[in-house]
Every structure is written in C-alpha cells, then in structure tokens.
Amino acid sequence: MKEAIYDYIIVGAGSAGCVLANRLTEGGHHRVLLLETGGSDKSIFIQMPTALSIPMNTRKYAWQFETEPEPYLDNRRMHCPRGKVLGGSSSINGMVYVRGHARDFDEWQEQGADGWDYRHCLPYFRKAETWAFGGDEYRGGSGPLGVNNGNNMQNPLYKAFVDAGVDAGYFATDDYNGARQEGFGAMHMTVRNGRRWSTANAYLRPAMERDNLTVVTHALVHKILLEGKQATGVCYEKDGKLVDVKASAEVILSAGSIGSPHLLQLSGIGNRDVLEQADIPVNHELPGVGGNLQDHLEFYFQFRCKEPVSLNGKLDWWNKLKIGVRWLLKKDGLGATNHFESCGFIRSRAGVEWPDLQYHFLPAAMRYDGKEAFNGDGFQLHIGHNKPKSRGSVYVQSDNPRQPPRIRFNYLQHEDDRQGFRDCVRLTREIVNQPAMDKYRGPEIQPGVDVQSDEEIDAFVRQAVESAYHPSCTCKMGVDEQAVVGPDTRVHGITGLRVVDSSIFPTIPNGNLNAPTIMVAERAADLIRGLEPLNPSNAPVAMDEQWRDRQRPGGARREIA
C-alpha cells in the first residue's frame, strides 16, 4: 500500500489543533492530517454547558493526570485533567472566556517573544470571535467562536456581587475583554445557541467537510520521526498497530502543556539529564523542554445565603431532570450556562501594575464535581492569585508513551504567591461585607471566621486550594537558553517542527487560558502559511494611572511588603 504523505500533521485536536486544522485547510491548497487520542465529543454531557463537571472527571474524555506530591501543599497530589476528545480541553473546560490583561502579552514580548505583544495579539482575538453584542475595536463580530454572557445575570446574586465590588472602591468594567480588565462586571463564556462552543464545534466541524483534511481519532502518537535534525512525520498507534506517516512540510504539536513536552521528550528532544534518566536516546538537546510549568490555583470562599435565590435548591435529581429536558427541547434555561456570570479582576496591592487576582462568582455553594457543599442556600467566590512566580516541570519517566509524565508544579513555592493568597482572603472578606451583599450574606462557611492570621490563612490555603486547570508554559516561546520555540513557533534546532498551544506561553496570563490559546493558534496559522500578519491594533488600554500608590481607585492604600 502506498504510504500517505501530508503537507502538515497536527498532533492533538484540542483548543489549538482544531483552529490549525481549519485555517491550514482553507483554500484547499494543503493536505492536513489531524491526530487525536480521544474520540467523539457528541455526548450531551459535553454539549450541555451546565454539565461541565462531568466530562472533566470522566476518563473517556480527559486524561486524569495526577501530580507528584506537592511539597508546599502538605504533599497533596493534585488533579490535572486534560482533554482527550475532539475539542480537547475546550470540550471539558468551564467555558469561561478571558483573554488576559493587555500587559500580559506585552510581558511576552519583553521576554523575547517578538511580535506577540498586545497590539499584535488583539487582531487575532477579534478574528476568532463573534461577540454576542457586536464587534468593535476590541471585540470580533464574525469569527467562528461564539461568546456571550449565558443567561445575562438573571439571578440577583450576580449583580449584588458586582455592586459589592464597586461599593468596596473598585472599578465597574463594562467589558473586561475590552479596554479595561480591572474591575467587576459580567463574565463571558464560549456558549452559542445554548451549546458549549468548543473549538470542535467552532472550527473543526466546518473543516471536516473539506476533502483535504483527514481526522484520525483514537490515535496515540508514540514519537516524532526524525532524520537528523529534520522532523519528517510521526509514528502513531491505531487499533493496536503502529503507523508511520510523513509530513512534507511540517509536524505541529498541539497536544497541550502536558502532552507536547512529553512527546518531544519521547522523541529524544529535551533536557539531557531528564532523557538519560528515562533511558531515552538524546536526539536533540533542548534544556527548557518541560520546564517553566505554571498554573493558576484557586479556592472557594463560601457563604450561606439568607434568601432562597441560590442554585442550591436546583441540585436535586428532579430539578436536574427538568433543567436537562428543557435544554434538550429548547437549548436555553439553566442548562445553557456555566453559571459563572459575574466576575472581578483586581490588584492585590499598591505597586502591582495590572490585576493579579481573579474572581469567578457562582450563585451556589458546591464542589467542582457538582455536589452541594451543605444543605440550604449559599453562594461562593472562586478566587486565586493569577501571576504566580513558582515554577514546576513535566518530565518523561520512560519511553512508554502510555506512562504519564512526572508532573510537579511546586505550587506556592515562592513567598509572593503565598502572600497573594493571604491578600485573596482579606480582600474577599472586605468585598463580601459591603452593603450590596447585606440582603444575601449569611455566615461565612469557608475559610471560616477563625482563619485570620497569616499562619492560619497559609494552613487553610495549603489544604483548600485546587488547580484552576490552567497548566501552561512548558515549551516557552523566546530566544533564551530555556526557550523551546522561537517567536515563529518553530522548535529551536529542529527543521519542520513547531509547537502551537498553551505550552509556548512564556508566562501565564491573568485569566482562563482557552481564549489566549485560540488566539495563539490563529496567529500561528498565519505564520505557518507565510501570510502577512494582521495589522497591529492601536486600541487604547485603560489602566489605573495611580497603580504605584494605591491598590484600588476608591480604597485604602495597600503597600507591597
């Protein structure tokens, strides 16, 4: 049988891979093979937004990775699920659409990712998106990715939380993905016509109608095929058989921040000591592969609610059935939202230039697995310090592609990260105790009023924090010795090989990662095709000009210790 040869092979049909599959097959000029270890995303539990906790915790749809004991979290092993299905993590995530602050991308440029500053990234955010309220100089009006506000904050608790932030002296922001991120306002989600709008729905399904795209599911890639310093294809396993397939142009890894460095290492590309310890021959020494691992942590600040308006009354089987039936018939109601419909982005201290704390507000008190936290009504704020200085790693353990890599984030290793969570506790209490919440605020359940001192907060945080599921930065983009890819997304020292996914972020943005991952893939698709980049934007960015001297525009000054 004649060996199939494609122009491009994309490994991973996730948030980035689906974008690339669409863009690289536009016009019909290139033959593209897209390989995905998982299978179909057509489950109701994936497509119905309110069911988000199910696919994330299901082995069929997600790699259920677990970290090594985390030394600064009392040696807890942390859950690290990654998408294993068409759409990847965009098919199992919380659907929250946050681009990050403009300065996050300027930071990339400053770290050597030339051309990835906010002015050059904003046009690609706009290209990807159709914003429910119409396009402007910040928001897209005709892109594949549908973005809205779910049920438009019909529950009164959403607005009460936003008003409480304003009462506490913070900005109100009309659009945190627009001119001003800092402040409190409505939260956005990747939902369209009541369905999860993953990159599988937004990008891959239209592309699968094209003759020049081949999608192979249940395909486990074993390694990249190399001839010297040239990537020529990949070896993958399908139905128990190994298949070698060639790429005449490039191999593109879009397997995510765990999968992409692991596959490079399985192919003998990486840190020499790591490869030799795993008995893998060194084909190309690249020290930074798998290093620089970053993530967001968060915990739930939970309160009882004095009014019977929370979603806790909707968690019994009968109400869940009614919500599900309505969604099946009409694609609306409580089934058509992720329930994170208001949010906040604030700075932890004076002297912090742009927001480093993020709130997701939920009008219920419950766990990530969808079970109620206690009997009765309640609400919770997911709060985290989003610009961590701690760094971890993803390192291969053997040449067996089925053996998970060794993952260690070193969460809270850096004192600034621990201080960030102390600020989370104290600032959140102040916000929730504003007059706007008086009608609803009951007793504090978690952390509990007895958690006050630095030592008490630190102990609580070590036991209570969970991953926000934003692993990133393990194949960082740049030109220094630890960089894995250049600003063109090509792997340093290897011809015909790129990495395009959240692993190439130099630093983690202040926000959820699906939106910037899609943006990176959109921009990379133009680089790969040799197209002129979109014209940089001159849209202004609103900042607190007195950030050096105040923690918030209308509040007391908080100095950096």
pLDDT tens digit sequence for 81-103: 999 999 999 999 999 999 999 99
Per-residue pLDDT averaged across 255-281, rounded? Answer: 98
Percentage of the chain exceeding pLDDT 70:
97
Q: 7: annotated binding-site residue?
A: yes
Q: 21: annotated binding-site residue?
A: yes
Calculate the CA dihedral of residues 468, 379, 182, 561 and round it to 10 degrees.
-70
Q: 29: annotated binding-site residue?
A: yes
> Does residue 397 have a pLDDT over 50?
yes
Tell me the CB-side half-sphere exposure of residue 319, using CA atoms within 13 A.
9
C-alpha of 529 from chain center: 26
CA distance 126 to 110: 23
Q: Report pTM.
A: 0.97
Q: 27: annotated binding-site residue?
A: yes
For residue 443, give both structure tokens.
């007793």
Backbone angles phi, psi at 515, to 5 degrees: -65, -50
CA distance 467 to 469: 5
The per-residue pLDDT for 95 is 98
Cβ atoms 558, 350 nearer than 8 A: yes
pLDDT tens digit sequence for 152-187: 999 999 999 999 999 999 999 999 999 999 999 999
- In this structure, what DSSP letter does residue 68 have? P
Neighbours of 526 (CB within 10 A): 15
Q: 11: annotated binding-site residue?
A: yes
Query: What is the distance in angstroms between the CA of the first residue and the CA of the last residue of the chain?
Result: 69
> Does residue 559 have a pLDDT over 80?
no
Task: Give the domains, in start order, of the chain with CATH numbers.
Answer: 1-140+189-293+470-531 (3.50.50.60), 150-186+297-385+412-464 (3.30.410.40)
CA distance 270 to 284: 7
Cβ atoms 552, 170 nearer than 8 A: yes
The per-residue pLDDT for 366 is 80
Q: 12: annotated binding-site residue?
A: yes
For 420-445, give one letter per residue: b (16+ CB within 10 A) or e: bbbbbbebbeebbebebbeebbeebb
Per-residue pLDDT averaged across 1-9, rounded? Answer: 77
The per-residue pLDDT for 374 is 74
pLDDT tens digit sequence for 317-336: 888 899 999 999 999 999 99
**Sequence letter at residue 307:** E
Q: 32: annotated binding-site residue?
A: yes
> Does residue 368 have a pLDDT over 80?
no
Quickly state the pLDDT bin for 221 (edges 50, 70, 90): very high
Q: 455: annotated binding-site residue?
A: no
Per-residue pLDDT averaged across 116-126, rounded? Answer: 98
Per-residue pLDDT averaged across 526-533, rounded? Answer: 97
Q: 24: annotated binding-site residue?
A: yes
Calculate the CA dihedral of residues 260, 262, 267, 268 and round it to 10 degrees.
120
Cβ atoms 32, 24 nearer than 8 A: yes
Q: 182: annotated binding-site residue?
A: no
Quickly state the pLDDT bin for 560 (edges 50, 70, 90): very low
Q: 30: annotated binding-site residue?
A: yes
Cβ atoms 144, 128 nearer than 8 A: yes
The DSSP secondary structure of 161-196, one letter per residue, reads HHHHHHHTTPPB-S-TTTT--SEEEE--B-EETTEE
Distances (CA, A) of 444 to 167, 246, 357, 431: 19, 59, 20, 13
Q: Annotated active-site positions, please?
A: 470
As a residue count, the chain comes to 561
Quickly state the pLDDT bin for 369 (edges 50, 70, 90): low
C-alpha of 260 from chain center: 15
Per-residue pLDDT averaged across 526-552, rounded? Answer: 97
Across all residues in the chain, what is the average pLDDT? 95
> Does residue 250 have a pLDDT over 80?
yes
Percentage of the chain exceeding pLDDT 90:
94
The residues, any chain, with a CB within 8 Å of residue 308's CB and separated by 6 or more, are 377
Secondary structure string (H, E, C) spanning 364-409: CCECCCCCECCCCCEEEEEEEECCCCCCEEEECCCCCCCCCCEEEC
Q: 16: annotated binding-site residue?
A: yes
> Does residue 106 have a pLDDT over 90?
yes
Quickly state the pLDDT bin for 246 (edges 50, 70, 90): very high
pLDDT tens digit sequence for 279-304: 999 999 999 999 999 999 999 999 99
Calculate the CA dihedral of residues 409, 412, 416, 422 and round it to 10 degrees.
140
Closest to 230 in 3D by CA, of 8, 494, 499, 528: 494
**What is residue 160's three-state secondary structure?**
helix
Q: 18: annotated binding-site residue?
A: yes
For residue 96, give both structure tokens.
């929250």
